[in-house]
């Protein structure tokens, strides 16, 4: 296979961005950082939703990127 997509979450106040191979992995890593910081129970998030992948227009536009299959 070829290159796989990566999902990145970054912010100005983050020392290291979160980079993962799936949208859920990326958002769950962020949720883990936040809940560890706050000392609260961990939550599970819907990564595709938080990246906007549930919107047909987003999927369409991603499909139009160079090299998209």
Asked whether the whole model's pTM tops 0.85, one would answer: no
Q: Is the pLDDT of residue 1 over 50?
A: no
Report how far residue 11's alpha carbon sits from residue 69's, in angstroms, rounded to the nearest whole number.
Answer: 29
Write the pLDDT tens digit of every residue in 5-41. Answer: 899 999 998 899 999 999 999 999 998 888 888 888 8
Report how far residue 23's alpha carbon sits from residue 9's, in angstroms, rounded to the nearest whole number.
Answer: 10
Q: What is the pLDDT of residue 37?
A: 86
């Amino acid at each position: 296979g070829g290159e796989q997509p990566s999902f990145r979450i970054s912010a100005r106040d983050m020392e290291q961005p979160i980079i993962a191979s799936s949208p859920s992995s990326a958002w769950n890593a962020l949720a883990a950082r936040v809940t560890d910081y706050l000392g609260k129970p961990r939550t599970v998030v819907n990564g595709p939703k938080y990246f906007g992948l549930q919107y047909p227009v987003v999927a369409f536009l991603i499909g139009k990127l160079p090299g998209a299959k």
